[in-house]
Amino acid sequence: MSRCIQLLEQAGAQPPPMSGLGRAGQAYLLSAHQGRSPPGLRQSLQRFASEFVTTRFALQIEELARQEADDGRTAAWYMHRSALAALAWAREATSLAKPSSGPHSPRAWLEESHQTMLEFVAKNPDALSRMVGAEAFTGAAERVAALAGNRSGKRPDKAAVLTTGGCPHNIS
């Protein structure tokens, strides 16, 4: 237990800053060690999981920016961006919170990133031919975009979100 807390403290002190993740992890470990009630333990775990997803997403966005700075906007960059947008949308679509709307919502970002990827591919048709798995990825991206584009007002079925187009089953 003390070794886990020590590792969380060390990780929180290293760049990039992840102090929130370290604090949430420590709170969860202490809750488990102190024998908190199942609802309290579940709440600590949810906070840790939420902090983990937020931190991981921030790191992925930083990696996307680094990829753009190093290589420019290549087919891989568009695919990476589209995948991150799909994950953001899937997390929101499977959460209990009311889906956000507007130009900065995950759905809008997914639609925009998918459209710009399609435009890039139309202008550079051979760009994907050199990439292993690009055809499967674009097919999956089409299916996810179609599911996200459903404007019926009904929340998509969680099973459909998690299985459409080969989306990872561990969305969190």
Q: For the segment 56-80, what is each residue's pLDDT rounded down to a tens digit?
A: 888 888 899 999 999 999 988 998 8
Domain check: are 40 and 7 in the same one?
A: yes
CA 131, chain centre distance (Å): 22
Domain check: are 33 and 85 in the same one?
A: no
Q: For the segment 99-121, what is each residue's pLDDT rounded down to a tens digit?
A: 777 778 888 888 999 999 999 98
Domain check: are 170 and 99 in the same one?
A: yes
Domain that holds residue 101: 73-172
Q: Is the pLDDT of residue 161 over 80?
A: no
> pLDDT-derived band of residue 169, with 50, 70 and 90 as boundaries?
very low
Instruction: Give how far Cα 159 sits from Cα of 93, 130, 138, 167, Å.
Output: 11, 33, 21, 11
Domain check: are 11 and 52 in the same one?
A: yes
Unique residue bearing structure tokens 């960059």: 77
Domain check: are 80 and 153 in the same one?
A: yes
Domain boundary among 71, 90, 125: 71
Domain check: are 83 and 124 in the same one?
A: yes
Domain check: are 21 and 101 in the same one?
A: no
Residue of 167 and 57 predicted with greater confidence: 57
Q: What is the pLDDT of residue 120?
A: 92
Residue of 77 and 31 predicted with greater confidence: 77
Q: How far apart are CA 108 and CA 36, in angstroms?
A: 40
- Structural domain count of the chain: 2
Domain check: are 122 and 172 in the same one?
A: yes
Q: Is the pLDDT of residue 10 over 80?
A: no
Domain check: are 80 and 154 in the same one?
A: yes
Q: Which two tokens stand for residue 57?
A: 């997403």
